[in-house]
């Protein structure tokens, strides 16, 4: 079945460092791909998404490119801030196949001042 695998955390970086959180997926159809962020004590909220191959999603300085050839959707940011400390979830929705959205296990990010 469809699945999402993302790098395990926690990831600890200093402020202004470059961030990459890896995400790979398995799907037989044509999924949409998402990154959600969960700040402490809150629910998840959509950070960015891409709906087809080679699409780049971007928001708040974060970017991710839908790579069908490597089945990846890695999250990147050029210069992280303390306020980026949160848990990040990669997810896919194979809308042509069924009604479920599948989440990765999440990666906790700590940014040190």
Partner 1 sequence: NAGVTQTPKFQVLKTGQSMTLQCAQDMNHEYMSWYRQDPGMGLRLIHYSVGAGITDQGEVPNGYNVSRSTTEDFPLRLLSAAPSQTSVYFCASSYSNSAPLYNEQFFGPGTRLTVL
Q: Could you list the residues that contact partner 1 (CB under 8 A)? A: 32, 34, 36, 42-46, 49, 51-52, 89, 93, 95, 99-101, 103-106
Rounded Cα–Cα distance for residues 50 and 37 (Å)? 15
Measured from the CB of residue 81, what is the shortest distance to partner 1 in angstroms?
23
Largest CA distance in the chain: 44
Nearer to partner 1 (CB atom), residue 13 or residue 101: 101
Nearer to partner 1 (CB atom), residue 28 or residue 45: 45
Nearer to partner 1 (CB atom), residue 18 or residue 39: 39
């Amino acid at each position: 079945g469809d699945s999402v695998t993302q790098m395990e955390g926690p990831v600890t970086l200093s402020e202004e460092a470059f961030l990459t959180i890896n995400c790979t997926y398995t799907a037989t159809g044509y999924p949409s791909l998402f990154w959600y962020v969960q700040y402490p004590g809150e629910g998840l909220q959509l950070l960015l998404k891409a709906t087809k191959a080679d699409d780049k999603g971007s928001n708040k300085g974060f970017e991710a490119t839908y790579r069908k050839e490597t089945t990846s959707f890695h999250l990147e940011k050029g210069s992280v801030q303390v306020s980026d400390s949160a848990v990040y979830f990669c997810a896919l929705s194979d809308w042509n196949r069924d009604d479920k959205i599948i989440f990765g296990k999440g990666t906790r990010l700590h940014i040190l001042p």
